[in-house]
């Protein structure tokens, strides 16, 4: 007499082993994770010695780290972790002396002058006066 459980058990084991061998064919979606301030070479090229902290903040954005013990030092960090692949990191340190930009250093080099776009011109158009009786 044959045991009907034996073929069912063998079939179950075969399916389990086949499921384990799928490997990387089926893997969950992973999002790209960006953290910090993405400081570009074009942004660094706009930094000039003697700029005020407000001007630097306008160009680079709010720093990720402001050390309460060294208020004249701002640190900009950026980390990009793609869903698949290696993470990349960038760091830029901005130093002030007497309330003015003294120097900056880090992984981000300024862009060449020919890669920097000129500032956008803004033309203000005066509004015509409202017609009487409206």
3-state helix, strand, coil in the chain (%, to 5): 25, 25, 50
For 8-51, how does the pLDDT look when each residue is reduced to its tens digit (9 = 90+)? 777 777 777 766 655 656 778 889 999 988 899 999 999 999 99
Q: Is 101 helix (H, G, I), strand (E, B) or coil?
A: strand
Instruction: Note the pLDDT of residue 83.
Output: 87
Kindly report the pTM of this predicted structure: 0.63
- Output the CA–CA distances (angstroms, integers) from residue 90 to 17, 50, 69, 81, 94, in the order listed: 44, 24, 23, 12, 13
Q: Whose CA is closest to 91, among 76, 79, 81, 80?
A: 76
For 83-129, how does the pLDDT look when each residue is reduced to its tens digit (9 = 90+)? 888 999 999 999 999 999 999 999 888 888 766 666 666 777 788 78
Q: Which numeric CATH code is attached to 38-108? A: 3.30.1450
Instruction: Note the pLDDT of residue 91.
Output: 93
Instruction: Note the pLDDT of residue 118.
Output: 63
Distance, CA of 14 to CA of 72 (rounded, Å): 66
Instruction: Note the pLDDT of residue 114.
Output: 67
pLDDT at 53 exceeding the cut of 90: yes
Q: Whose CA is closest to 77, among 47, 35, 31?
A: 35
Q: Whose CA is closest to 38, among 80, 98, 84?
A: 80
Instruction: Note the pLDDT of residue 54.
Output: 94
Query: Residue 85's Cα: distance from chain center in Å?
Result: 16
Neighbours of 76 (CB within 10 A): 24
pLDDT at 1 exceeding the cut of 70: no
Contact status, residue 43 vs residue 111, Cβ threshold 8 Å: no
Instruction: Note the pLDDT of residue 51.
Output: 93
Phi, psi of 131 (to 5 degrees): -70, 145
pLDDT band at 65 (very low <50, low <70, confident <90, very high): confident
């Amino acid at each position: 007499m044959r045991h009907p459980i034996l073929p069912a058990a063998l079939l179950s084991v075969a399916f389990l082993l086949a499921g384990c061998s799928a490997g990387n064919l089926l893997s969950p979606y992973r999002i790209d994770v960006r953290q910090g301030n993405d400081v570009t070479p074009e942004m660094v090229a706009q930094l000039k010695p003697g700029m005020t902290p407000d001007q630097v903040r306008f160009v680079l954005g709010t720093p990720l780290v402001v050390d309460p013990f060294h208020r004249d030092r701002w640190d900009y960090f950026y980390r990009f972790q793609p869903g698949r692949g290696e993470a990349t990191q960038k760091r830029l340190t901005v130093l002030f002396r007497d309330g003015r930009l003294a120097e900056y250093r880090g992984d981000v080099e300024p862009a060449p002058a020919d890669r920097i776009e000129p500032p956008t011109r803004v033309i203000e158009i005066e509004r015509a006066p409202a017609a009487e009786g409206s």
